[in-house]
Amino acid sequence: MNNLPSIQSCPKCKGGLEEQENSLICRRCRTRYSLNHGIPIMIVDSAEKAS
């Protein structure tokens, strides 16, 4: 069972995501989603704006 959906777009703006270090960064709105052991935390409330 390897059924993890690959997350290709930002839940906030549907922009494309880019993997960086330990997080995914939205190319459009620059929101940063942390990765927790390789699993992205796609919760807009806990995301932070990348500088």
Structure tokens at 38: 């390789």
User: Using alpha carbons only, what angle is made at residue 18 by residues 14 and 21, rounded to the nearest 5 degrees?
Assistant: 140
For Zn ion, the binding residue among 23, 24, 25, 26 (CB under 5 A) is: 26
Q: Smallest gap, in angstroms, from Cβ of residue 48 to Zn ion?
A: 12
Rule CB under 5 A: say whether 32 interacts with Zn ion.
no
Closest CA to 26 of 38, 43, 41, 14: 14
How many chain residues are in contact with Zn ion, going by CB under 5 A? 8
Asked if 15 touches Zn ion (CB under 5 A), the answer is yes
Q: Is residue 50 involved in binding Zn ion (CB under 5 A)?
A: no
